Amino acid sequence: MSAFLSLRVQFGQYTCRSCLARLSKAAKRHSSTVSSQSQLRRPSPVNKSKLPPSPARTRFAPSPTGYLHLGSLRTALFNYLLAKRTGGQFLLRIEDTDKKRTIPDAEKRLFQDLRWAGLEWDEGPEVGGPYGPYKQSERTDIYHEHAEILLKSGRAYRCFCTAHRLSELAEQRSKLGLPTDYDRTCASIPKEESDSRAAQGEKHVVRLLVPDVYPQFVDLVYGNVGRTLKPGRRGDEAYEDPILLKTDGLPTYHLANVVDDHHMKITHVIRGTEWLPATPKHLAMYEAFGWTPPEFAHVGLLTDQEGNKLSKRNFDTDIASFRDKMGVFPEALANFVALLGWSHGSRSDVMAMNDLINKFTMKFTKGNTTVTLGKLWFLQNEHARIRTNDGGKEFDEMVDKVVELVSRNSSLRDYETILEGRSLRNYVAQIIRADAKNYATADDFVSRSHFFFTRLNHPTSVTDAPGIPTLAKDLAEIPEGEWQLDRLKAKIKEITANAQGVANPAKEVYHHLRKVLADGKDGAGVADIMAILGHKESLRRLGVDECHQMC
């Protein structure tokens, strides 16, 4: 007796030979139909660097069971960029049927985080559209209608097996080294009996009757996929037959995903490779309904340097943390995420959203992508420089944040004396303009620029080069009314030329000036620092007393 047959006898679910023969014939007819349809609908190979010839309709369909993370933001961004690049539409759909795992504020946070990152959806919650509702919890009747279509066509069946039986079956099959898929016990139940048991309220699920061989398809990243994926395994009578409707009447991801994508006219689906094994099941469902499936592009997972999938333990923090705790700019984060698994032909990796849209193609890299935050901070610096050069509200936001931090830091109150009536906001704006290339976050910038807000004590010895401290005091020759950047640079050059008997006068002069003016910290140029500090404070730090200045 085969291992499968012994299990069927043990669980009291033996199926007679005539029923098995009937099932076998039906499966063969189904397989033949699917095979011919597959040949007709199989997409032709596509150059993955090319764009579709017509506007693409894409979607991002998150579940409110958690907050938006790097991986999910990347999925949303790739779909958004394809839609915008081709003049199509980007949809947002909420897959909220898993009520037990739903987090109360996740949906609201999702909307906030997507908009902050620059991703506005054309159709979806809070926006509307012609194919709504855009929340799966409001589409239950639609899923029931389509499950009934499959039941009537014989492409699906009701399964009345209890959770206990399924658990024991899986356990026994696992012990025998067999796949733990379903054994299709309930597929042999006559339709009249199935309808009657369901009408009497007997608990059941609805399963898809998958073909013997899944339809082959062309993935836009991985090419031909599906030739070796066979749900029915000879000799062990195991079938994947995914559940479409659960016992509570709610749809699984498989049914809702396919039905929604079809009715919302989605043309392209970009998603992670973790969904690649499920795609043949989805294509089998498209075939069962007689629908043309969208194009699929599966992108590799995001991993850490050890090859582990990103998690909370290895910096896959939610997007709000990048914004609120780390102070990352939205354009820097979008730029960073776009580069994770996407190849472009530009010389520079620094791109604003419009640049990403204009340069986007379907050229994704195969395999997983290692994430390191060094690139993020490089892009943050570059976008800080761009914000500073462009001015406008983004630069104003940088200034306001630094002003806020300085104002509430009691250890930096010296700035009121240094300013001598000048505007703190204008003062901070000058500092950022002079040192934008080193701007990472407001907190970091305030920390590295503390010398602008604190009255440093004049050190007694800052260089071993003789005469340089004295020469540096010649800066006092510049009148207060001429204390400008060009004049300061010229004077520093003159002081360097007058430094006799010093091996490297330029190095020693700048070392001395940076030490007394900026506590030795790197950052803006010394002439910029003096221009920002002003005439009086700069000379005080150089050790020039008021009498010397007046004389």
The reported pLDDT for the residue numbered 456 is 84
Question: Domain 3-41+140-299, what fold?
Answer: Rossmann fold (3.40.50)
**Can you spell out the DSSP letters for 342-401?**
B----S-----HHHHHHH--S-BPSS-EE--THHHHHHHHHHHHHHHHH-HHHHHHHHHH
Q: State the catalytic residues.
A: 312
d(CA 78, CA 58): 9
Q: Are 251 and 140 in contact (CB under 8 A)?
A: yes
- Report yes or no: 512 and 462 within 8 Å, Cβ to Cβ: yes
Task: Name the residue type at position 204.
Answer: H
What are the structure tokens assigned to 384, written together? Answer: 């800080």
In angstroms, the CA 380 to CA 460 distance is 38
360 with 85: CB under 8 angstroms? yes
Number of other CB atoms surrounding residue 410 within 10 Å: 6
The 3-state DSSP class for residue 299 equals strand
Domain 468-550 has CATH 3.30.1490: no
pLDDT in 10s for each residue of the chain, 551 residues: 333 333 333 333 333 433 434 434 443 443 443 333 333 334 444 455 689 999 999 999 999 999 999 999 999 999 999 999 999 999 999 999 888 888 999 999 999 999 999 999 999 999 999 999 999 999 999 999 999 999 999 999 999 999 999 999 999 988 988 888 899 999 999 999 999 999 999 999 999 999 988 878 999 999 998 654 455 444 456 788 999 999 999 999 999 999 999 999 999 999 999 999 999 999 999 999 999 999 999 999 999 888 888 865 566 578 999 999 999 999 999 999 999 999 998 899 999 999 999 999 999 999 999 999 999 999 999 999 999 999 999 999 999 999 999 999 988 888 999 999 999 999 999 999 999 999 999 999 999 999 999 988 766 556 667 789 889 999 999 999 999 999 999 999 999 999 888 889 999 999 999 999 999 999 999 999 999 999 999 999 999 875 455 54
- Per DSSP, helices labelled H in 269-329 are 279-289, 319-324
Say how many C-beta atoms besides its own lie within 10 A of residue 108's C-beta: 10
Q: Which residues pair with 90 in a beta bridge?
A: 58
Sequence-separated (6 or more) residues with CB below 8 Å from residue 386:
350, 352
124: left (phi over 0), alpha (psi -120 to 50) or beta: left
Chain-centre distance of CA 42, in angstroms? Answer: 31
Q: What gap in Å lies between CA 283 and CA 219, rounded to an integer?
A: 12
Closest to 185 (Cα-Cα) out of 13, 433, 369: 13
Structure tokens at 290: 């007689």
Q: What confidence score (pLDDT) does residue 461 get?
A: 52
Residue 242: which of 292, 200, 182 has the closest Cα? Answer: 182
Domain with CATH 1.10.10 in the chain: 468-550
Which stretch of DSSP H or E encloses residue 158?
strand 156-159
pLDDT of residue 304: 87
Residue 57 burial (10 A CB sphere; 0-12, 13-18, 19+): buried
Q: Is 188 buried (19+), middle (13-18) or exposed (0-12) by CB count in 10 A? A: middle
Q: pLDDT value at position 8?
A: 34
pLDDT, position 312? 58
Facing residues of 299 across strands? 272
Give start-end residues of each CATH 3.40.50.620 domain in the chain. Answer: 3-41+140-299
The span from the CA of 102 to the CA of 535, in Å, is 61
End-to-end CA distance of the chain: 112
Coil, helix or strand for 246? coil
Instruction: Say what angle helices 374-390 and 330-338 make with each other, to 10 degrees.
Output: 130
What pTM was estimated for this model as a whole? 0.85
